[in-house]
């Protein structure tokens, strides 16, 4: 949904009621204050099985050429035991631990020690110190936006090594992929556990904490809204973007290098995956300031869901297409390659232009043109925990008049293009589109539940004006 926010203190005094506002705020932002049985069951399922899912997918490629069925068949027919599969799995090594520790430390240094300079010479790029959205407690955090700079710096060093210095092989990530997975898991669990302890004993802002009393739910969904160390190290911004997303393109490049090493060429399908996913990653960092207004930063608390998810789930399952193409190099026909490229570009165009319309609407307070006309909108109001009244404008023009989450539709088109590049021999590369469909559909519902709690009857007016969520005329 396209939204713009503003604060009107003079009207705050007319409507302020601290007790009622505090109660209202408990359902307006972030995760739940109380846990129903279904939510708890979902949390327990993910905590138990999400790490196993990651292991199963990566193990299937390492031992079964990316077949998801053959491991099950072997186990059911007793051709192999679990211990046989486990014993063939590479374990944590000192080399992998050293690589991963150096990688994370390097990204931390780039994040907190190197103020952004890209915004000084790149036209229309927004970097440097930027303000985030208002938190439930009415706080506006400041962030050092330097992700694009970190990405460029990292990749310049990568290519300098690959073509000049030769300190390490470009296949280093693929060659240590499973040992690195154990390192990523350790970091994911350590940072999630630390975040929970911090939320209990030394939170950055106690008013932005939520406790349900259920250990598992609080551990997964997080207690603190914006946990920080010092002035600038923000857990959510760092782990959402780095080290996982900076690594995304490096991982794909390592896959391409391995394909070159094994087969003497890089297939056009591998190039497509690198290009299309590279565009997505670059878009993320080019618009990192805009990302401060998205659901991950504006609504989600920081727990295992983000901490472990960004360390393990994202780099290991979002890159399955490139991993698959190492084991099964697919050379697409020209027409198929062009068709997939066009689908990816159209998906990206919809994703980017939809978000651009929302950002333009927000920045200009609606004083702009969308598709050549002044945008239409519905004005809504909501309260912070402090009792301050804020106003939002929900746009009903442009792509946002077609569907309430049309940016997700473009995202799904791009996700499908990644998968189609791998052909149809195995199902494993298509996990991504299945997962993204579930994730974004659930996010639609989750976001709209929050918005209904936040805006009340104003949200019902908005959904009446824009009745579809993802697909106009369908859903």
- Model pLDDT, residue 65: 95
Residue 349 binned pLDDT confidence (cut-offs 50, 70, 90): very high
Residue 426 pLDDT > 90: yes
Residue 203 pLDDT > 80: yes
Over residues 75-113, the pLDDT tens digits come to: 999 999 999 999 999 999 999 999 999 999 999 999 999
The residues pairing with 382 across neighbouring beta strands, listed in sequence order, are 390
- Model pLDDT, residue 234: 93
- Model pLDDT, residue 326: 98
Least-confidence region, from 102-106, 151-155, 304-308, 466-470: 466-470
- What is the rounded distance in angstroms from the CA atom of residue 393 to the CA atom of residue 370? 15
- Model pLDDT, residue 457: 84
- Model pLDDT, residue 20: 33
DSSP label of 131: E
In 3D space, the residue among 20, 31, 131 whose CA is nearest the CA of residue 389 turns out to be 20
DSSP label of 32: -
Task: Name 14's Cβ contacts closer than 8 Å, sequence gap at least 6.
Answer: none
Over residues 123-160, the pLDDT tens digits come to: 989 999 998 888 877 888 899 999 999 999 999 999 99
Over residues 164-189, the pLDDT tens digits come to: 999 999 999 999 999 999 999 999 99
Q: Report percent pLDDT > 70 for the chain.
A: 92
Pairing of strands 140-145, 228-229: unpaired
Least-confidence region, from 282-291, 371-380, 448-457: 448-457
- What is the rounded distance in angstroms from the CA atom of residue 230 to the CA atom of residue 235? 11
Please confirm whether the linkage preceding 243 is cis (ω < 30° from 0). yes
Residue 408 binned pLDDT confidence (cut-offs 50, 70, 90): very high
- Model pLDDT, residue 363: 83
- Model pLDDT, residue 28: 45
| Cα atoms in the 13 Å half-sphere on the side-chain side of 89 | 18
**Beta-carbon count within 10 A of 65 CB:** 13
- Model pLDDT, residue 149: 96
- Model pLDDT, residue 418: 97
- State pTM to two decimals: 0.89
- Model pLDDT, residue 385: 61
Residue 10 pLDDT > 70: no
Least-confidence region, from 124-128, 379-383, 412-416, 417-421: 379-383
Residue 24 binned pLDDT confidence (cut-offs 50, 70, 90): very low
In 3D space, the residue among 332, 122, 161, 333 whose CA is nearest the CA of residue 254 turns out to be 161
- Model pLDDT, residue 21: 36
Q: What is the DSSP string of 283-303?
A: HHHHTHHHHTTSHHHHT---S
Over residues 35-84, the pLDDT tens digits come to: 778 888 989 999 999 999 999 999 999 999 999 999 999 999 999 999 99
| Cα atoms in the 13 Å half-sphere on the side-chain side of 179 | 17
The predicted model gives 291-319 an average pLDDT of 91
Q: Report percent pLDDT > 90 for the chain.
A: 66
Residue 32 pLDDT > 60: no
- What is the rounded distance in angstroms from the CA atom of residue 4 to the CA atom of residue 391? 8
- Model pLDDT, residue 310: 95
């Amino acid at each position: 949904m396209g939204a713009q926010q503003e604060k009107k203190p003079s009207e705050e005094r007319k409507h302020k009621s601290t007790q009622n506002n505090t109660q209202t705020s408990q359902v307006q932002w972030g995760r739940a204050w109380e846990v129903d049985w279904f939510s708890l069951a979902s949390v327990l399922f993910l905590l138990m099985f999400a790490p196993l899912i990651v292991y199963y997918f990566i193990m299937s490629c390492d031992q079964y050429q990316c077949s998801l069925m053959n491991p099950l068949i072997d186990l059911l027919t007793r051709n192999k035991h679990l211990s046989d599969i486990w014993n063939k799995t590479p374990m944590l090594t000192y080399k992998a631990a050293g690589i991963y520790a150096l990688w994370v430390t390097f990204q931390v240094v780039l994040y907190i020690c190197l103020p952004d300079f890209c915004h000084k010479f790149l036209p229309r790029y927004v970097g440097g110190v930027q303000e985030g959205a208002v938190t439930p407690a009415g706080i506006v955090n400041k962030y050092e936006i330097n992700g694009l700079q970190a990405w460029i710096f990292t990749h310049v060093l990568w290519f300098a090594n690959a073509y000049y210095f030769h300190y390490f092989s470009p296949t280093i990530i693929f060659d240590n992929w499973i040992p690195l997975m154990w390192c990523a898991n350790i970091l994911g669990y350590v940072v999630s556990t630390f975040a929970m302890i911090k939320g209990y004993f030394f939170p950055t802002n106690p008013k932005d904490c939520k406790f349900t009393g259920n250990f598992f739910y609080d551990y997964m969904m997080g207690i603190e809204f914006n946990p920080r160390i010092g002035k600038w190290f923000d857990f959510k911004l760092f782990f959402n973007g780095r080290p996982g997303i900076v690594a995304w393109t490096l991982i794909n490049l390592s896959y391409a290098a391995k394909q070159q090493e094994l087969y003497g060429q890089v297939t056009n399908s591998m190039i497509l995956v690198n290009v299309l996913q590279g565009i997505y990653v670059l878009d993320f960092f080019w618009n990192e300031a805009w990302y401060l207004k998205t659901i991950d930063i504006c609504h989600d608390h920081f727990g295992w869901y983000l901490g472990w998810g960004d360390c393990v789930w994202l780099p290991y399952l979002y890159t399955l297409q490139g991993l698959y193409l190492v084991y099964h190099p697919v050379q697409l026909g020209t027409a198929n390659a062009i068709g997939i490229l066009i689908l990816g570009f159209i998906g990206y165009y919809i994703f980017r232009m939809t978000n651009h319309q929302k950002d333009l609407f927000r920045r200009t307070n609606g004083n702009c043109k969308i598709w050549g006309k002044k945008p239409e909108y519905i004005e809504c109001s909501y309260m912070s925990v402090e009792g301050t009244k804020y106003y939002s404008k929900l746009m009903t023009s442009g792509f946002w008049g077609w569907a309430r989450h049309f940016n997700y539709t473009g995202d799904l088109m791009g996700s499908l293009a990644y998968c189609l590049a791998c052909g149809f021999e195995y199902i494993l590369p298509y996990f991504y589109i299945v997962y993204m469909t579930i994730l974004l559909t659930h996010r639609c519902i989750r976001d709209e539940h929050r918005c209904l709690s936040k805006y009340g009857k104003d949200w019902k007016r908005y959904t009446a004006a824009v009745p579809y969520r993802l697909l106009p005329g369908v859903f």
